[in-house]
Amino acid sequence: SSVGQYYTNPFDYYSFFTQMVPLLFAWEYMLRGFLLFGLKEKFKEASILIQMVPFVLLHIGKPEIEILMCIPMGLWFGYIAYRGKSFWPAFITHTFINFTLKYFVNF
């Protein structure tokens, strides 16, 4: 089963935890853990805005509303990672949002 099938199949806890959670971990580690904190010393709070751009671009191909929501959510994830000095708050929040949306979309 692929990550693409995850979005179209009925809710499957196994697929969520074996596919989406590792994907979200890698995603948040790359964008918030690596990019945000790599830019933080030079760009300070502007690093939150900078890391949001690839977050939005990586959602291209998804529904328009999802892409538009990536702007405030990317800023929010960046902010909570920046304030928490860790990518973990963004990872936990992103995972919770995906889990909740996946559950209710397939309810």
As for how many domains the chain has, the answer is 1
Neighbours of 54 (CB within 10 A): 13
Residue 107 lies in a domain: no
User: Each residue of 54-72: pLDDT tens digit?
Assistant: 999 999 998 898 899 999 9
Residue 63 lies in a domain: yes
Residue 105 lies in a domain: no
Residue 40 lies in a domain: yes
User: Each residue of 71-95: pLDDT tens digit?
Assistant: 999 999 999 999 999 999 999 999 9
Q: Determine the structural domain holding residue 21 and report its residue range.
A: 3-100
Residue 17 lies in a domain: yes
Question: Which pTM value belongs to this model?
Answer: 0.85
User: Dihedrals φ, ψ of 17, to 5°?
Assistant: -80, -25
Question: CB-side exposure of 40: number of CA atoms within 13 Å?
Answer: 17
Residue 38 lies in a domain: yes
Q: Which string of DSSP letters, residue by residue, matches 23-71? A: HHHHHHIIIIIIIIHHHHHHHTTHHHHHHHHHHHHTTBTB-HHHHHHHH
